[in-house]
Amino acid sequence: MEYKSNLDDVLRALADCKHEFLERIGELAVDEAKSLATVLTGAMKRGIASDVMPNDEGVIVGDIEKYSLYVEKGIGQTAQPFLEKGCISSVPKIQTLGNSLYQEKFGGG
Protein backbone atom coordinates (compact mmCIF):
# COMPACT_ATOMS: atom_id res chain seq x y z
CA MET A 1 0.00 0.00 0.00
CA GLU A 2 1.35 3.38 -0.98
CA TYR A 3 1.47 6.22 1.53
CA LYS A 4 -0.70 9.23 0.64
CA SER A 5 -0.37 12.40 2.65
CA ASN A 6 -3.51 14.40 3.38
CA LEU A 7 -1.51 17.30 4.77
CA ASP A 8 -2.29 19.66 1.89
CA ASP A 9 -6.02 18.93 2.13
CA VAL A 10 -6.03 19.46 5.89
CA LEU A 11 -4.06 22.72 5.66
CA ARG A 12 -6.40 23.98 2.92
CA ALA A 13 -9.47 23.08 5.01
CA LEU A 14 -7.99 24.87 8.03
CA ALA A 15 -7.20 27.96 5.93
CA ASP A 16 -10.72 28.00 4.46
CA CYS A 17 -12.23 27.65 7.92
CA LYS A 18 -10.04 30.47 9.26
CA HIS A 19 -11.08 32.77 6.39
CA GLU A 20 -14.76 32.03 6.96
CA PHE A 21 -14.28 32.62 10.69
CA LEU A 22 -12.65 36.01 10.04
CA GLU A 23 -15.45 37.05 7.68
CA ARG A 24 -18.07 36.11 10.27
CA ILE A 25 -16.15 37.92 13.02
CA GLY A 26 -16.36 41.04 10.87
CA GLU A 27 -20.10 40.57 10.38
CA LEU A 28 -20.67 40.20 14.13
CA ALA A 29 -18.58 43.25 14.97
CA VAL A 30 -20.31 45.35 12.29
CA ASP A 31 -23.75 44.35 13.58
CA GLU A 32 -22.77 45.27 17.14
CA ALA A 33 -21.22 48.59 16.06
CA LYS A 34 -24.31 49.50 14.04
CA SER A 35 -26.52 48.78 17.02
CA LEU A 36 -24.41 51.15 19.13
CA ALA A 37 -24.04 53.94 16.56
CA THR A 38 -25.58 57.18 17.76
CA VAL A 39 -26.83 58.01 14.29
CA LEU A 40 -29.74 55.73 13.48
CA THR A 41 -29.68 56.36 9.76
CA GLY A 42 -27.42 57.97 7.25
CA ALA A 43 -24.13 57.43 5.52
CA MET A 44 -22.11 56.90 8.69
CA LYS A 45 -24.16 53.93 9.85
CA ARG A 46 -24.35 52.47 6.34
CA GLY A 47 -20.59 52.91 6.03
CA ILE A 48 -19.71 50.62 8.94
CA ALA A 49 -17.98 47.66 7.36
CA SER A 50 -15.36 44.98 7.85
CA ASP A 51 -12.63 43.55 5.69
CA VAL A 52 -10.41 40.51 6.12
CA MET A 53 -6.75 41.52 6.08
CA PRO A 54 -4.36 40.08 3.48
CA ASN A 55 -3.14 36.56 4.26
CA ASP A 56 -6.01 36.24 6.75
CA GLU A 57 -3.98 38.04 9.41
CA GLY A 58 -7.07 39.55 11.03
CA VAL A 59 -10.15 41.68 10.49
CA ILE A 60 -10.47 45.42 10.09
CA VAL A 61 -13.72 46.95 11.31
CA GLY A 62 -14.32 50.59 10.59
CA ASP A 63 -16.40 53.24 8.97
CA ILE A 64 -15.67 54.74 5.59
CA GLU A 65 -17.14 58.06 6.69
CA LYS A 66 -14.52 60.37 8.16
CA TYR A 67 -17.13 61.88 10.45
CA SER A 68 -17.26 58.69 12.48
CA LEU A 69 -13.78 59.38 13.85
CA TYR A 70 -15.13 62.57 15.40
CA VAL A 71 -18.01 60.66 16.96
CA GLU A 72 -15.89 57.69 18.10
CA LYS A 73 -13.04 59.70 19.63
CA GLY A 74 -14.90 62.86 20.54
CA ILE A 75 -12.90 65.29 18.45
CA GLY A 76 -14.59 68.64 19.09
CA GLN A 77 -17.42 66.96 21.00
CA THR A 78 -18.07 64.35 23.68
CA ALA A 79 -16.83 60.91 22.59
CA GLN A 80 -19.56 58.43 21.69
CA PRO A 81 -17.60 55.27 20.92
CA PHE A 82 -19.45 52.66 18.95
CA LEU A 83 -16.82 50.89 16.83
CA GLU A 84 -14.56 49.84 19.70
CA LYS A 85 -17.50 49.01 21.97
CA GLY A 86 -19.14 47.04 19.17
CA CYS A 87 -16.02 44.96 18.66
CA ILE A 88 -15.52 44.36 22.37
CA SER A 89 -19.17 43.49 23.03
CA SER A 90 -19.11 40.91 20.22
CA VAL A 91 -16.28 38.89 21.84
CA PRO A 92 -18.56 36.33 23.58
CA LYS A 93 -20.41 35.74 20.31
CA ILE A 94 -17.07 35.40 18.48
CA GLN A 95 -15.89 32.76 20.95
CA THR A 96 -19.10 30.80 20.51
CA LEU A 97 -18.84 31.17 16.73
CA GLY A 98 -15.26 29.89 16.71
CA ASN A 99 -16.13 26.85 18.75
CA SER A 100 -19.18 25.96 16.67
CA LEU A 101 -17.56 26.67 13.30
CA TYR A 102 -14.49 24.52 13.92
CA GLN A 103 -16.60 21.75 15.43
CA GLU A 104 -18.96 21.89 12.43
CA LYS A 105 -16.08 21.70 9.96
CA PHE A 106 -13.85 19.21 11.77
CA GLY A 107 -16.08 17.42 14.28
CA GLY A 108 -14.90 16.38 17.68
CA GLY A 109 -16.20 16.91 21.13
Distances (CA, A) of 107 to 5, 13, 99, 103: 20, 13, 10, 5
Q: What is the pLDDT of residues 35-89, one digit of tens each?
A: 888 765 677 778 888 999 999 999 998 877 677 778 888 888 888 888 888 889 8
Cβ–Cβ under 8 Å, residues 10 and 43: no
Is residue 97 very low, low, confident or very high in pLDDT (cuts 50, 70, 90)?
A: very high
